Amino acid sequence: MHLLIVGGSDAGISAALRARELDSAATITVLLADSFPNYSICGLPFYLSGETPDWHQLAHRTEFQGIEILREHRATFIDVENNSVFVRSADKSKVFPFDRLVIATGAVPVEPPIAGLRSPGVFLLHTMEDSFRVHEHLSEHNPESAVIIGAGYIGMEMADALTHRGLNVTVVSRPHTVLSTVDSQLGEVLRQEIVNRGVTVHTGVEVSSIYPGDGKLKLQSKTGSELTTDMVIVATGVRPSSELASAGGIETGARGAIRVNRKMETNVPGIYAAGDCAETWHRVLEDYTYLPLGTTSHKEGRVAGENAVGGVRVFAGSVGTQVVKVFDLAIARTGLLESEAHVATFDPFTFETLAWDHKAYYPGARELKIRITGDRSSGRLLGAQMVGHWKSEISKRIDIFAAALFHEMTVEALNDLDLSYTPPLSSPWDPVQTGAQAWSRALSLNQATRELKHV
């Protein structure tokens, strides 16, 4: 049996490794469009900041025993009738037959409609090659300033990275907040952090054009305002790379991502899809959505690889758990925001509280800001967000909420969890639990107030 995998990043390599574990006789071939199998794209800002000076360190894995990795092999067409993939390599055309196929083509950057987006000194950051171009520009031209278009995860990390390198950084965001994937109250905390670090922030601004002038780059907004800088990073999100699949007759769904079931099967028998090119089953929404996350890609790829060699595994689903470190802050979320819960026809109630990350009498205690969203009638936990110092176990505490969401727990049930305690690290009631208690008290008060208004 020949398993062919198109794409060699998180999902593709995870599929190949799992298939090899389960079927030692299968022939497994991975077609890689570039030369960098299984590299951590999430690590690019830290390579560019200089904190991870050797890009080779970004490789998740360098040994692929029993798996054929074909670099610089770009798939151009999938012939679903004849179980074959057409490929371009070194200006030559090749055809690869398959018995089973996994499509793991990932995502590509969203290119905003900005005139001059291809001007020298303007960079989109998504691939290893992108990072090399940025690194070369930083090393050879020694720019003093940079504008980052986009205030999402990559935009925030690059603001940190370029400030770390000594550049004067300006962030321009079309939304009126930074990191719009969290509530604006937490986004404002992050905005203040980066401003305190010397980053200039312009929100509610849409760039219309970039053009060179006097050895600089000039950016003009739709309202006529202008900025001048030495280089530009465009980080306005990603979209699924699904054109290859779609051209072959494979169906697409949410935001143009490849439509799959929970076995990661497409509408074409024997063809699977996984990772940032495919839809994701959301456990809270109980529906498919587009949720491009590295953690999800690894899990989906593992499911696809297992099923491609005869397994029957079902993808358990995602709750959208995310965290980012920017300067000294970590900001995290899992599950639904209140706005998203309303759209999903829940009756959400959100409450924010402050808590110490460990006992206040032990030196170094820091405050955490915790926002919990739950359903009014059932008390079910729907989502949580946190922000605080990056050494305050933000990522592990959001994981407690994520596990609770995975098991459809109520907010109140968080208090029953047996969580660890020692004064330098936590309290007898962990901040997750004091946040849950505060939510329950606030909900009771809110409901009592609503009842009084109806008397």
Write the CB contacts of 53 (distance below 8 Å, at least 6 apart in sequence): 47
CA dihedral 366, 46, 301, 80 (to 10 degrees): 140
**Average pLDDT in the chain:** 95
For residues 154 and 148, give the distance between their C-alpha atoms in angstroms, rounded to a whole number. 10
Q: Note the CATH architecture for domain 2-41+59-107+239-308.
A: 3-Layer(bba) Sandwich (3.50)
pLDDT band at 63 (very low <50, low <70, confident <90, very high): confident
**Residue type at 181 in one-letter notation:** T
Residue in 281, 287, 284, 289 with CA at minimum distance from that of residue 255: 289
Spell out the long-range contacts of 218-221 with Cβ–Cβ below 8 A and sequence spacing 24 or more. Answer: 219/147, 219/149, 219/172, 221/172
For residues 107 and 307, give the distance between their C-alpha atoms in angstroms, rounded to a whole number. 23
For residues 421 and 235, give the distance between their C-alpha atoms in angstroms, rounded to a whole number. 40
State the catalytic residues: 42
CATH superfamily name and code, 322-453: FAD/NAD(P)-binding domain (3.50.50.60)
For residues 178 and 322, give the distance between their C-alpha atoms in angstroms, rounded to a whole number. 15
For 357-401, the pLDDT digits (tens) are 999 999 999 999 999 999 999 999 999 999 999 999 999 999 999
Domain range annotation of the chain: 2-41+59-107+239-308, 122-236, 322-453
Checking if the pLDDT of 96 tops 90, the result is: yes
Residue in 389, 257, 395, 411 with CA at minimum distance from that of residue 322: 395
For 184-230, the pLDDT digits (tens) are 999 999 999 999 999 999 999 999 999 998 889 999 999 999 999 99
Per-residue model confidence (pLDDT) at position 60: 86
Per-residue model confidence (pLDDT) at position 229: 97
Per-residue model confidence (pLDDT) at position 85: 98
Place of tokens 């398993």: 3
CB atoms within 10 A of CB 65: 6
Per-residue model confidence (pLDDT) at position 455: 54
Reduce the DSSP state of residue 232 to 3 states and report it. Answer: strand
Q: Beta strands 367-375 and 381-389: pairing type?
A: antiparallel
Within this chain, domains 2-41+59-107+239-308 and 322-453 share the same CATH topology:
yes
Checking if the pLDDT of 452 tops 90, the result is: no
Residue in 364, 111, 338 with CA at minimum distance from that of residue 239: 111
Class for the domain spanning 122-236: alpha beta
pLDDT band at 453 (very low <50, low <70, confident <90, very high): low
